[in-house]
Amino acid sequence: MACVELLPGESRSLRWAYAVIVGMALLISGSAVAKDQKDEEDDKDASSAGLSNIYIDFRTNYAYVPGGSLSTGLGDASLFGTLSQLATLRKLLERPTLPGRPQLTAPTNQGIGVDVPLTVDLGEALSLYGGFTGSASYNGLSGWSDVAVTSWFLGFQADVYRQNGGVLPTLTLQSTLTRSVPDAPLATTSFNTVLEAKYAVDPDEMRGWLAGIQYTHTEIDTVLARIGDTTAGYVGGFYQWDNNWKLTARVGLQSFGGAQLLALAPIASYTQPLVRLDLDRMDDDDNRLFGVTAQIAWAPKPVYQLTVRTPLYAVKN
């Protein structure tokens, strides 16, 4: 097999995009193989599950990041907080530099924004999504920024193995590529991957246990700044009532590799706890109708994040 070397001018973000596309292709082919292994009596149900849900998984985010910290934690809301903080820092670094000016410290930051991902569910085992984030940020030095599109993203979520009443848990893989816009100092490309195991203790999978690991890698478009990788591990559980309200809880530890951002004082590495709670309203086919996520991640000071999910369905099966 021929080995094709990337051209010197190709960006890191393009390489990450290639990785996501290849992963999606492999998972789609894996899902097809998994279907062939099902019993014949499930063929009719599998055929129905192959019909796609198409919707905008509209998410409204709020993040509070204390001074001297970067937002880390579980899920895409953490990336929203990081990008909001970097947008604030970018504005501060654009100020004229005075002779002998000491290093700056990242200020306390608040961000509010919306994620607009167009999502397609290819049956029950695979979802593809892509969209953009619009946001505004606030700090005590420069006030509120203008509302603007701050990033785009694409990714997938797939069940690589399903429990289906067996003894082994469902394994779910989710990967998201996020690129901040517009290109400027401190522009970033982030790659976030989560592998989660879910073990249901009842045939209807209404309650059970969770365990997972998340890895986040961020590249900055300058050799003068660096953000270390973040690895988080967690355990938790879920319970769904007969009225289709579902509560999920996760607790864990995250390890951050530290950061150096141009003229800012270094942000030290740390290993700290995190807590995340999800409350969702589901329908009888396990589609989300409404959801609220609250998270506290010590980074090392407490970072607070709140996300409200209001999916807008174009096609729902």
Count of CB atoms situated within 10 Å of the CB of 47 = 11
Interval 278-291 mean pLDDT = 94
- Report pLDDT digits (tens) over 156-170: 999 999 999 899 999
pTM: 0.79
Question: d(Cα 196, Cα 203) in Å, to the nearest integer?
Answer: 20
Question: d(Cα 95, Cα 90) in Å, to the nearest integer?
Answer: 9
pLDDT of residue 37: 42
pLDDT of residue 93: 60
Question: d(Cα 191, Cα 17) in Å, to the nearest integer?
Answer: 9
Cα torsion through 252, 67, 262, 220, rounded to 10: 40
Closest CA to 221 of 268, 257, 262: 262
pLDDT of residue 2: 41
Does the bond joining 302 to the residue before it have cis omega, within 30 degrees of 0? Answer: no
Please say whether the beta carbons of 270 and 236 come within 8 A: no
- Report pLDDT digits (tens) over 99-128: 445 556 667 888 898 999 999 999 889 999
Tokens 């903080």 belong to residue: 85
Question: d(Cα 171, Cα 161) in Å, to the nearest integer?
Answer: 5
Query: How is residue 168 annotated by DSSP?
Result: S
SS3 55: strand
Kindly list the structural domains of the chain, giving each domain's residue range(s) and its CATH number in brackets, ordered by start.
12-33+52-94+103-315 (2.40.160.40)
SS3 104: strand
Question: d(Cα 287, Cα 284) in Å, to the nearest integer?
Answer: 7
Question: d(Cα 172, Cα 118) in Å, to the nearest integer?
Answer: 20
Please say whether the beta carbons of 307 and 60 come within 8 A: yes
Tell me the pLDDT band of 22, cut-offs 50, 70 and 90.
very low
- ∠ CA 58-213-249, nearest 5°, is 60
